């Protein structure tokens, strides 16, 4: 057996020779294996670096999103947020400069019966040229803020916008817990209580946006606050409340001709708030060509009013879809799109920037995304 092996393999080999032969056989493969190992290690390093970059990007994205939420979204707390008297006024002073709460919220007859200092501007920023009409309106309406609000040590307010973000928000119960709930125009409550609540302390409106049956969407003690954009708005409310011949012309949309409301529920908003919203928040000139006239929306005006009246101001349902999103509805209750805002005189992009500025400085907080 040993001889056959010797014959087949040649002369017997010593252990040193066997070891040397093993080294000699493998030596031609070493460069190839080394290169393969290097490529394999480089590949894993590259994958590790890519994974690290991905982790950093995800972290950065999340941190930015958290920052976005922190600035523009305030999730509804289970417990009431502390209300500090005068807090909103202090923060609003940074927005409005020489800002004072001495201005009355609603116009009252005594200030117009003997006019010592006529308004510097025409409507919507002042009452210049509309004093006679206004006198007749103020004689049959009221101006007081309800004692239930006046007596509050700290006023917690929410301004409920009409935006589509309120749809399926389930904010109704939270909204009802605020001391003052301010709503806009003809936005409905009935059928949407789960998302928008049922309490309405004030509703800002103008003739074209007045709901045809105000008792349906408001509470018995709701204050209906007229925002006058033009002299014809005073004329309309006077004919309604005094049951005179109705005004049919001078409106971009026919307002109600029959409006079942108690005159004592009607208030006339001080144009001062329209003035500072336009000047301080949107940097609009007070004197504009009649064909161009830009003006704040009722929503921005309501926030301005709330900063004057309240100590804590939250908002919900504000913000419009992006301009390229032409099919997204703008209201929670109807299927109209941003196209309907064309020719309205409202710059929604500028208003979005103004609201974001208020959110960033903490003057208001948001219950819905923005």
The CATH number of the domain where 94 resides is what?
3.90.1480.20
pLDDT value, residue 293: 75
* Mean pLDDT for the stretch of residues 338-343: 68
Bridge partners for 329 per DSSP: 337
Residue 348, domain member (yes or no):
yes
Residue 214 and residue 112 in one domain: yes
Residue 20 and residue 127 in one domain: no
* Mean pLDDT for the stretch of residues 90-97: 86
pLDDT value, residue 118: 78
Residue 234, domain member (yes or no):
yes
Q: What is the pLDDT of residues 60-82, one digit of tens each?
A: 554 444 444 444 556 555 567 78
- Which pTM was predicted? 0.79
Residue 30 and residue 124 in one domain: no
Nearest 5°: phi and psi at 69?
-65, -40
Q: What is the DSSP letter of 297?
A: -
pLDDT value, residue 7: 31
Residue 130 and residue 273 in one domain: yes
Residue 87 and residue 118 in one domain: yes
Q: What is the pLDDT of residues 311-330, one digit of tens each?
A: 999 999 998 777 667 678 88
Residue 2, domain member (yes or no):
no
Strands (E), the chain: 156-160, 180-184, 202-205, 223-226, 266-268, 312-316, 365-366
36/40 Cα distance (integer angstroms) = 6
Structural domain range at position 22: 16-72
136/153 Cα distance (integer angstroms) = 35
pLDDT grade for 309, boundaries at 50, 70 and 90: very high
User: In 3-state terms, what secondary structure has residue 286?
Assistant: coil
Q: What is the pLDDT of residues 7-36, one digit of tens each?
A: 333 444 444 444 444 444 444 446 556 656
160/163 Cα distance (integer angstroms) = 9
Residue 120 and residue 253 in one domain: yes
Residue 63 and residue 106 in one domain: no
pLDDT value, residue 93: 86
**Lowest-confidence range among 7-16, 143-152, 221-230, 302-311?**
7-16
Q: Report how far apart the first and last C-alpha atoms of the chain are (Å, whole number).
A: 92
pLDDT grade for 247, boundaries at 50, 70 and 90: confident
Q: Which of 37, 72, 107 is the last residue of a domain?
A: 72
pLDDT value, residue 5: 35
User: Do 299 and 281 contact (CB within 8 A), yes or no?
Assistant: no
What is the total count of domains within the chain?
A: 2
Mean pLDDT of the chain: 83
pLDDT grade for 150, boundaries at 50, 70 and 90: very high
Query: Which has more pLDDT, 67 or 120?
Result: 120
pLDDT grade for 215, boundaries at 50, 70 and 90: very high
* Mean pLDDT for the stretch of residues 226-252: 94
- From the list 294, 277, 3, 271, the residue with the least C-alpha distance to 131 is 271
């Amino acid at each position: 057996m040993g001889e056959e092996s010797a014959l087949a393999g040649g002369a017997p080999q010593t252990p040193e020779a066997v070891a040397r032969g093993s080294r000699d056989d493998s030596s031609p493969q070493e460069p190839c294996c080394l290169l393969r190992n290097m490529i394999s290690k480089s590949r894993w390093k590259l994958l590790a670096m890519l994974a690290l970059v991905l982790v950093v990007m995800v972290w950065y994205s999340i941190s930015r999103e958290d920052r976005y939420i922190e600035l523009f979204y305030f999730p509804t707390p289970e417990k009431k947020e502390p209300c500090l008297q005068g807090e909103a006024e202090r923060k609003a002073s940074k927005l409005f400069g020489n800002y004072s709460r001495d201005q009355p919220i609603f116009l009252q007859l005594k200030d117009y019966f003997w006019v010592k200092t006529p308004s510097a501007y025409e409507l919507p920023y002042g009452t210049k040229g509309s004093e006679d009409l206004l006198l007749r309106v103020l004689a049959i309406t009221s101006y007081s803020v309800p004692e239930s609000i006046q007596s509050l040590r700290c006023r917690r307010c929410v301004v409920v916008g009409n935006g589509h973000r309120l749809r399926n928000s389930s904010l109704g119960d939270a909204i009802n817990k605020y001391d003052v709930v301010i709503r806009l125009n003809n936005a409905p409550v009935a059928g949407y209580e789960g998302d928008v609540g049922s309490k309405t302390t004030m509703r800002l409106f103008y003739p074209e946006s007045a709901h045809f049956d105000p008792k349906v969407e408001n509470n018995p003690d709701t204050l209906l606050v007229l925002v006058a954009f033009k002299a014809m708005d005073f004329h309309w409310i006077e004919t309604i409340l005094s049951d005179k011949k109705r005004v049919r012309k001078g409106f971009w949309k026919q307002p109600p001709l029959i409006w079942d409301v108690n005159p004592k529920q009607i208030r006339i908003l001080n144009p001062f708030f329209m003035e500072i919203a336009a000047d301080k928040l949107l940097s609009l000139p007070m004197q504009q060509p009649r064909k161009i006239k830009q003006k704040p929306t009722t929503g921005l005006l309501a926030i301005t009013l709330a900063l004057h009246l309240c100590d804590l101001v939250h908002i919900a349902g504000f913000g419009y879809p992006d301009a390229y999103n032409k099919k997204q509805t703008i209201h929670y209750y109807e299927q109209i799109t941003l196209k309907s805002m064309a020719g309205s005189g409202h710059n929604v992009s500028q208003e979005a920037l103004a609201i974001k500025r208020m959110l960033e400085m903490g003057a208001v907080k948001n219950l819905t995304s923005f």
